[in-house]
Amino acid sequence: MSATNHRTHWTAADLPSQAGRTVVVTGATSGLGAVTARELARAGAHVVLAVRDTARGERLAATLTGSVEVRPLDLADLSSVRAFAAGWDRPLDVLVNNAGVMAVPEARTADGFEMQFATNHLGPFALTNLLLPHLTDRVVTVASNAHRRPGVDIDFDDINSEHAYRPWRAYQQSKLANLLFTRELQRRLSEAGSPVTAHAVHPGYAATNLQGRSAGAAQRLMLAVTNRLMSQSDAMGALPTLYAATQPLPGNSYTGPDGRGELRGHPGPARRSPHAEDDLRASRLWDLSERLTGVRFTPSAPDRRSH
């Protein structure tokens, strides 16, 4: 794969050819996922839209230029995750863990997990590990700079928010989990001698429909006002994902907007909280996630290369 070196104003126009490559994008029916899928398909990749609503997925696919297909996937349902992975029978260059929910009212999944922790972390954790034997290049997971808010940590004593549920804190915890997952995944891949690398990104403050699902009318109104004043478009918010999916980066990289506060701008290195760089937290979360999902780490063979 050809690549473009990082420069301050990297855009989707700088995407190298993705011809011959296969990419799975979760949550691709709108927002960042739709932009990611559109641009990768435009660059020549075969893009699989892994989505809950396949009718919406088909409508989007009909508008895209390039090779696109739609497959059902509900990250809040581990049986759906297993079915998606069981149906995969070919090499996969890139997995983009994009789908997520943000600050939604308290809910439990069919497996009994808190909705945000399940959708944003446990589902991608299981999907990634189940697809690893097929992966040839990289995993890109969409996190958030919300993980850096003061006091955000993994509550191992109440991981499922059974004693107390606070929508934003549950969201922030799940985004910290994304970074710890990426860190531990890369450590395990390197130890196994796998050619696959793990990367995390965040979109900054991007105006997407994800925010419209936040709990409470007052919060939605506040977000609408803030979006108008501070946010960047979903096309700009998707740039870190596109960059991490196609550019030569070291494992465990973290990419976000390069503007002030990492709220807006073009792709550049992003900052993690100290907790997100804690190997003990990463290892502990990984072990817990394996127990909760029943899915274990199974990397591709060390001699596999991108086809």
- Which residues are known catalytic residues? 165
Query: Residue 155 CA to chain centroid, in angstroms?
Result: 21
Burial of 111 by CB count in 10 Å (0-12 exposed, 13-18 middle, 19+ buried)? middle
In degrees rounded to 5, what are phi and psi of residue 191? -65, -35
Q: Is the dihedral of CA 255, 259, 263, 264 positive or negative?
A: negative
Taking the C-alpha atoms of 306, 48, 235 and 185 in order, what is their torsion angle to the nearest 10 degrees? -50
Of the candidates 261, 254, 256, 226, the one whose C-alpha atom is nearest the C-alpha of residue 238 is 256
Who contacts 143 (Cβ-Cβ below 8 Å, separation ≥6)? Answer: 175, 178, 179, 182, 200, 201, 202, 254
Q: Which of 207, 276, 269 is nearest to 238 (CA)?
A: 207
Nearest-angstrom CA–CA distance, 87 and 84 = 5
Burial (0-12, 13-18, 19+ Cβ within 10 Å), 209: exposed
